Amino acid sequence: MMWQDFVFMIGSGLSLVFLGPTLLNPSSRVPLGTSIPSMTIGYVYSATFLTLGMTFSAMGSFTAGTMWALITMIRSPPARRFMRATGLDLLGSDLRRWAARRRPSYSVVDQYAQVDPGRGQHGQRNAAD
């Protein structure tokens, strides 16, 4: 194992830490001219490291490229319009709902909970009452 493999992996890991807030911030807007080249570079580096036998570096670059791909899909305004137009945003919301149901604290009964029309979901009176 080469020490350079770990250095590149740590560098890719740091890029994940620094890109995380951009992905999580709903007001972030990243132009496609930034995110697509960065995503492509991450995947090209990953393939290059893999051919050199630097597995950890390849994994790090692949995850950095994937982080840029997520930023492209979620935080680039043209990509968001495309996702709304094609229904991919519905797929995303369905996946989030599915993941929430996989939590150990979630019960099958929760998805069939009855809501009283005169009260809100948590039992409070509606503002109109």
- Examine residue 109 and state whether it is found in any structural domain, yes or no: no
Residue 34 counted as domain residue:
yes
Cα 107 to Cα 36, 90, 120: the distances in Å are 40, 23, 20
Q: Does residue 21 belong to any structural domain of this protein?
A: yes
Query: Where is pLDDT greater, at 43 or 80?
Result: 43
**For 3-17, how does the pLDDT look when each residue is reduced to its tens digit (9 = 90+)?**
888 898 898 889 888
Look at residue 125 and tell me whether its pLDDT is greater than 80: no
Examine residue 96 and state whether it is found in any structural domain, yes or no: yes
Tens digits of residue pLDDT in 16-45:
889 888 888 888 888 888 888 999 999 999
In a domain, 12, yes or no: yes
Number of domains in the chain: 1
| Domain span at 75 | 3-104
Name the pTM for this structure.
0.61
> 83 in a domain, yes or no?
yes
pLDDT for 112: 57
126 within some domain: no
Cα angle value 4/7/11 (rounded, 5°):
140
